[in-house]
Amino acid sequence: ATRMRPDAIIRPDFKFEDMGVGGLDNEFSQIFRRAFASRIFPPGLIDKLGINHVKGLLLYGPPGTGKTLIARKIGKLLNGSAEPKIVNGPEILSKYVGSSEENIRNLFKDAEAEYKQKQENSSLHIIIFDELDSVFKQRGSRGDGTGVGDNVVNQLLAKMDGVEQLNNILIIGMTNRIDLIDNALLRPGRFEVQVEIKLPDEKGRRQIFDIHAKKMKDNELLGNDIDFDKLAALTKNFSGAEIEGLVKSAASFAINKSIKVGTVANVDIKKVSAMKVSMNDFLMAL
Ligand code: ATP
């Protein structure tokens, strides 16, 4: 008998623009097509095709480019998915030494229990594994001599390999160093879909400025002289996180203009209420 699979559905109100992720449209559509489009197929089609859902997605690239941001949004976009569980590689190795394997087992416990109980409409369980490279370095190169890492690796692989029918799980791994990751981990059934998240290009940077300055803009706190096109051009090699930092820093410069050095008593209320974040504040921040 064909069993109904716990396929997810996309929230009907979902719009990529509302995700607050800038400059990653192509990457996101790649992730969507390769990593979880199969989950919105009609139940049974996957069986007929003789394929499995992707259980592991690896996002790699420089720090601060939105990997975590995207991983969290994937959960939001799929209807009926549980709140993602977030694991940090170094943490699982150090803080819980001795019980690392148990921690890995616990990660899967809810998904397993739910799947067994009500196979027909189990929710999708997303596990976000940050700094994957710290745990999954090429065998023999870890060199901490404790063997703790190997146990964690084996435990996670056992869970990924052993969960053939447990298809209510999507593990999103993240790393800045894909070159350090053990090849065994990139095989089908494991982190088989790998998507690079690069530093944003000029157009992407422009979008990221818009996202992070939206609140100021909506509250009419942006000066008329702001030229985000120019700022996008001036911020080559900035990550999304750095652009966010720049926007916050510009706001600090603007606030400081309305404060005379000294005490709170010297805050010029008139100036504060008329405050705008100007192009000059952005350039100072830069
Ligand atoms: P790391 O490799 O250091 O973990 P990461 O790629 O996971 O970095 P995030 O944690 O997603 O980076 O980014 C940090 C913050 O920077 C985000 O919460 C967001 O506010 C901002 N940011 C980064 N990239 C983008 C982006 N493409 N669009 C909008 N905001 C971004």
What's the 244 CA to ligand 1 centre distance in angstroms?
A: 9
pLDDT at res. 90: 79
Q: Locate 195 and state its tokens.
A: 């998507």
User: Residue 8 in contact with residue 75, Cβ under 8 Å?
Assistant: no
Q: Pick 139 or 172 by higher pLDDT.
A: 172
* Residue 69 Cβ contacting ligand 1 at under 6 Å: yes
pLDDT at res. 264: 60
Q: Locate 66 and state its tokens.
A: 């939105």
pLDDT over 90, % of the chain: 38
* Residue 88 Cβ contacting ligand 1 at under 6 Å: no
Q: Pick 194 or 125 by higher pLDDT.
A: 194
User: Residue 186 in contact with residue 194, Cβ under 8 Å?
Assistant: yes
Alpha-helix residue ranges (DSSP H) falling in the chain: 25-31, 45-49, 67-77, 89-94, 100-117, 148-162, 202-212, 214-218, 228-234, 240-257, 269-273, 279-285
Q: Pick 22 or 188 by higher pLDDT.
A: 22
> Atom 21 in ligand 1: which residue has the minimum CA distance?
241
- Mean of the pLDDT values across residues 165-185? 86
Mutate to test the pocket of ligand 1, among 19, 31, 59, 65 (most ligand atoms within 8 A of CB): 65
List pLDDT tens digits, range 180-226: 888 888 888 899 999 999 999 999 999 999 999 999 999 999 999 99
52, pLDDT greater than 70: yes
pLDDT at res. 98: 58
pLDDT at res. 286: 96
ipTM of the complex: 0.97
pLDDT at res. 67: 94
* Residue 176 Cβ contacting ligand 1 at under 6 Å: yes
Confidence label for 8 from pLDDT (cuts 50, 70 and 90): low
Mutate to test the pocket of ligand 1, among 60, 132, 244, 246 (most ligand atoms within 8 A of CB): 244
* Residue 195 Cβ contacting ligand 1 at under 6 Å: no
What's the 177 CA to ligand 1 centre distance in angstroms?
A: 16
